[in-house]
Amino acid sequence: MSTNVRHVNHDLSPMRCPVSLEDVDLFADGSQEHWYEAYEILHRSEPVYRIEGGGISAGSDAFVLTRHDDVTTVVRDPSRFRVVSTMRVRELADRGLTPEEAYATTRNLMQASMVSLRPTQELYFQHRRELTDPWVGVGALRHREMITRHANELLDEWIDDDQVEFISRFARPLPQRVMADVLGFPRQDVTLLADWGDALVMPFVHGSGLKHELTSEQAHEMGRRLEGFQDYIYEHVVAKRADPQDDMISFLCDVTYDALGRKLTDIEIAGIVHAMVLGGLETTQYALEEQAQLLCEHPGMFEQLRIDRTKLRSFTEEALRLRAPTHGLSTRVTTRDEAFHGVLVPAGSLLHLRFAAANVDGDEFPCPFDLDLDRKGIGRHVTFSTGPRVCPGATLSRLEQQIAWGVLLDRLDSIDYGDGNDWMHQPGIMLGTLKLNIRVRKSSNPLSAGTGRSSIA
């Protein structure tokens, strides 16, 4: 029987629901089941939450920021609140290491490649404007037809079924196929790309604590699973230098990077590809999966959006706010003593920015837990962060979400929760269930023939 209500079996969770500050632990096993209850407690009692000894250097502390004004203050000012990855790249650059030497030291392709490309905040802007924006930022609109085709092909596979496992049959493969096409990898290699993507996000799924740390066994496993990734990219770089196509890797092989007045080297290109695969797969998967859940939980909303597509953008933005895929990241360090809501945060402290908590801060969003399609300033959430380091792939992800729902709304009459859900979340810092069975009703009167066109804002 289909239902609009989640019957979460909390006995399956290793953690009890917190009722007071003493119970709050955002990083414990099973904490994902109760994050939103914890945010209400933190907003009320401890919006600047100290984790003793949790900092980067020995003896320093970490602070979890949950208020919208605190999180935005931090991300808008990278000179006052340094970005951890930029600090690491700067250290490697100051040691005079080449990207290849940096890679030998760190085994982190993304950071190593940045040693020559963007060790400063100024170069970060240029890097982004010249190298990634044309494909996943403002230039992402070029992918509209391609994304629409993939969404329709995936839906074709199960539209006649009564029930579908939505993650494996739609939310997961869509961003994988899209990213393979953006980069210029052949369709038959999507499973390889998916495996590498899973390996790259291991710290965010299997890492522990606020620094997402892997055990040495897990780190070894991650390295093993990534074997072949770099060589695979290099093979494509060689092929595309010889025979350029209309894709991002061909573009990166050819472009002259103005900031340095030269073309990119193989390792520099590989670092950008690494960043796209790391950032561009699971995040959008979770967004789509949680959006499906919100539609199941709000009777009538699917029908409302079907009739009035002008509300679709409000829906995806509200869903991003209410169910942020990336709940928090420990990516900033204070350069001087700071005070947040009267709490002293010494220079050199690590800041864990809790984007998802900031999104349900009642001081910023009235009735924060309501999904309100008429909310004023609907894009003020910080799901993609904000300010100069805002997620570079936000435009691509938003486009994928709007096209995906445009196609689903065109060709389905309704979706509801199906049988066999337990709604348990995966571990780690991202919000996503492990499976999601939904019941679907194919439309006898499909709209716009599955183009999703009426939906794109």
Q: Applying CB under 6 A, which residues contact ligand HEM?
A: 75, 85, 136, 275-276, 279-280, 283-284, 287, 325-326, 329, 331, 355, 383-385, 389, 391-393, 396-397
Residue nearest to ligand HEM (CB): 393
**CA-wise closest residue to 82 among 341, 347, 259:** 347
Closer to ligand HEM at the Cβ: 364 or 416?
364
Task: Specify the residue for token string 């050199």.
Answer: 348
| The one-letter amino acid at 5 | V
d(CA 110, CA 165): 33
Q: How far is the CB of 366 from ligand HEM (least distance, A)?
A: 23
Q: How far is the CB of 140 from ligand HEM (least distance, A)?
A: 8
Q: How far is the CB of 147 from ligand HEM (least distance, A)?
A: 12
Closer to ligand HEM at the Cβ: 185 or 418?
185
Q: How far is the CB of 162 from ligand HEM (least distance, A)?
A: 29
Task: Specify the residue for token string 């930022």.
Answer: 137
Closer to ligand HEM at the Cβ: 155 or 358?
358
Task: Specify the residue for token string 């994988």.
Answer: 176
Closer to ligand HEM at the Cβ: 293 or 414?
293
Query: 10 Å Cβ neighbour count for 336?
Result: 10
Q: How far is the CB of 280 from ligand HEM (least distance, A)?
A: 3
Burial class (CB in 10 A: 0-12, 13-18, 19+), 265: middle
Helices (H), 207-333: 216-225, 229-242, 248-254, 266-280, 282-297, 301-307, 312-322
Closer to ligand HEM at the Cβ: 290 or 416?
290
Closer to ligand HEM at the Cβ: 240 or 327?
327
Residue 294 near residue 126 (C-beta atoms within 8 A): no
Q: How far is the CB of 14 from ligand HEM (least distance, A)?
A: 26
Beta strands in 30-165 (DSSP E): 48-51, 62-65, 81-83, 163-165
Closer to ligand HEM at the Cβ: 147 or 438?
147
The whole-angstrom distance between residue 212's C-alpha and the CA centroid of its chain comes to 15
Q: How far is the CB of 354 from ligand HEM (least distance, A)?
A: 11
The tokens describing 41, both together, are 């407690």
Cα maximum dimension of the chain: 65
